[in-house]
Structure 1
C-alpha cells in the first residue's frame, strides 16, 4: 500500500509541475503591409526624333528631305502642302513677290504646289539640308547649277505633263503641281537615294519651352515692300501654343484640306539683297550672317544668324539657340531698310 501511495504522490507531483509551466502561445506573425509608391506619370521616351522638327517617333526617321519651290503670287494662294512642311524659307524671288522653299521630311502631303522656278540661293538652302530639290523652271544661274548636278533635282521643264500636272482651276505659271508619290517616282527614275536624313537642328525639351523669355510678340508683321503684296502677319494662339499665318488678309491654309499652317518657331533674318536685272531678280547673301529675331511661344528675342554648313541657325553669345519642337518658318528680309523697318510687333 505504501508503494502505491508513493507512486500516486509522484504522479500528482508531476502533474502539479506541468500545470505550473507557462503554456507558450503560438507566435503571431505581423501582417506586412506593402506600401505602394505612386510614380509620376512618365512621358513616353522616343527612340527616334525627326531632325527638322525635333518631334519624337517610335519608328526610324532615317529618310531624305524633299525641298519644293512653292509659288506665293496672290493668284497662287491658297497653296497645297505647306501645312505639312517641317520648315519653310520665304525669300524674295523677283520684284516684291516672295517664294517659298518648303522642306518636307516628317510628313508627306499628297499634293504640293503651285510649283515655281528655281533660284540659286534656294538651291543652296536645299543643298545645306541634303534635300532632293524640286522646281518648275529656273533662272540662268539656277539652270547651270541644276544641269550641272550641283544638287539632286527634279524639274518641271523636263517632266511637265508627266511627273508635274497642270491644274485647270488656275492659269500658268500658277498651276503646276506635283504629288509626293510622283516625287518619289522621279527620284527612282533618276536613281537618287532617299535614305539619308538631313542634319539635325537643336531643340528645346518640352519642359524647357515653358521657360522661354523675351518681349511680348503675340502679333508680328513682316513687310517686304511698300506695296505689301508679300507682307505676312503671324498671330499667336495661346490655347494652341502656336502661331497662325496670314497673307493678304487671309489665313494661310491648305487648298485641299483647309487645314491651317501652324508654326512653333518664326526666325526673321536680315540679309543683303542686290537687284541684278530689269525683272527684279536678286543676288541674296544667305551665308555671311547678320541680325535676326527669334519668335517662340508668344515671345521674341534678338539674335544673330549664321550659316552652318548650309543651315541657317539662330545664334546668341556664340552658341546656337534651340528651336521649340515643331514647325519653323524663316523670313529673309533685305538689310536695306533692315529689320526695324521690316518687322513690327504686337500690331492690333
Structure 2
C-alpha cells in the first residue's frame, strides 16, 4: 500500500508539472507579443524624437540646432570654368542668364560647408536681390554698375574679389582669368568676421513634404529633362532621374556630368523648379533686367514626375504655388532654373529626351 501511495503521488506531481509547463507555454506568446508591442512603441517614439531640428532650405532633420546664416556665392558657368567646386554642397542653386547665352549660378550654402568654392564670378542686381531675400552673405568677384551701387550701398552684406583679390580670394594656377578666382569657406567666415557681419539667423524656410509623401508624388513622367537657354546651347543642361537614388543627376550640354572638381562627387538634385520670367536686354554688353518679383508659370519636377504650377516671390523667396497654396518640396537639394518668357517654358523645356 505504501508503494502504491508513493507511486500515485509521483504520478500526481508529474501531471502537475506538465500542467504548469502547458500554462507557461500558453502564456509565453502573450508575453512575447507584449515585448514586440513595447519595442514598436519605443521605435515610433524614437522616430518622432529623432530630429528635433530641420534645415530651412533642405527640410532635412538634425539632432543638433540648425541655425546659421546662409552664404550665397556667384559661381561661373563658362565652359572654361567647368567643372566647378562646391556646387554639390549647395542647398539651393539658382541658374540664371547673365550676358549672352551663358548662365551663372547663385549657390546657396547653409546646411553644408564645402572646403572650396568657385570659380567665383561677378555680381548682377537680380542675383543680389535673390541673396537679400535669403538674408544671405553675398560673395562675388566683380560687378555690373547697378550691382556695384547696391553692394557699396550695403543692400546686402557682401564680400567681393575686387576688394579682396589675393587675400580672401585666391587665383588658381591651372585656369586663366576670369575663370580662376576661388574662395574657401574658412575665408568667407574670416571675411565676415573682419567686416563684423553677424553669421547667426537662419534663412526663410521652404515648405517640405514628409518622407512618406515623397513616395507618392504624382504627375506626368519626367525621367529625363532638357533645359534650353539659347540656340547656341552653351548653357543647356540635361537632368536624368536615378530611381535608385530618388534624385536627378545633372549633365552639361556636351554630355559631361556635373561633378565637383576637387572630390569628383556628382551634383544630385531632389527638386528641379523651372520658372518663366520676363527678361529685358538693357545695354550693349547684353546685360539683362530680369523680373523675379511678379510671379508666373513654372514646372516643378520631383521623383521622376513633373507638374505645371505657378511661382511666386514670398518675401524674397521664390516658391512653387498652385491655386493660391504653396506646394511642398521634397526634402533635399533644389535647383531653380530661370528661363525667359520668350520663347517660354514649352520651347525651353523638353521631357524624356533620348
Q: TM-score, normalised by structure 1?
A: 0.90
Residue 183 of structure 1, CA deviation: 0.0
Structure 1 gap ranges (5+): 1-25
3-state DSSP of counterpart to 1:158: helix
Give the greater-gyration-radius structure (CA): 1
Equivalent residue, structure 2, for 1:18: none
Within the candidate set 257, 268, 272, 2:263 is matched to: 257
How many residue pairs match? The answer is: 322
What SS does structure 2 have at the residue aligned with 1:234?
Answer: strand
Aligned counterpart, 1:147 = 152
In 2: Cα distance, 1:143 partner to 1:124 partner: 13
Q: 2:75 aligns with which of 47, 70, 76?
A: 70
Whether 1:36 aligns to 2:33 is: yes
How far 1:105 moved relative to its partner? 0.3
Flag the structure with higher helix content: 2
The aligned residue for residue 236 of structure 1 is 241
Shift of 1:35: 4.2
C-alpha distance in 2, partners of 1:81/1:100? 11
Structure 1 segment 141-180 matched on structure 2, within 5 A: 141-180=146-185
What residue is the counterpart of 1:80 in the other structure? 85
2:219 maps to which residue? Answer: 214
Secondary structure of the 1:250 match is coil
1:124 matches 2:121: no
> Counterpart in 2 of 1:286?
292
1:279 Cα offset (Å)? 1.2
Query: Per-residue CA shift, 1:91-134, capped at 9, x if unaligned?
Result: 00100000000000000000000000000000100011100000
Partner-residue secondary structure (3-state), 2:130: helix
1:106 aligns with 2:103: no
Q: Return the offset for 1:36.
A: 2.9
Structure 2 CA distance for aligned equivalents of residues 68 and 75 of structure 1? 18
Residue deviations 1:36-61 (CA, integer Å, cap 9, x gap): 33244533620100000000001110
The equivalent of 1:301 in structure 2 is 307
Select 2:208's aligned residue among 203, 211, 225: 203
RMSD between aligned residues: 1.4
- Equivalent residue runs for 1:316-331 within 5 Å: 316-331=322-337
Where 1:333 maps in the other structure, the secondary structure is strand
Give the Cα separation in 2 of the matches to 1:58 and 1:127: 28
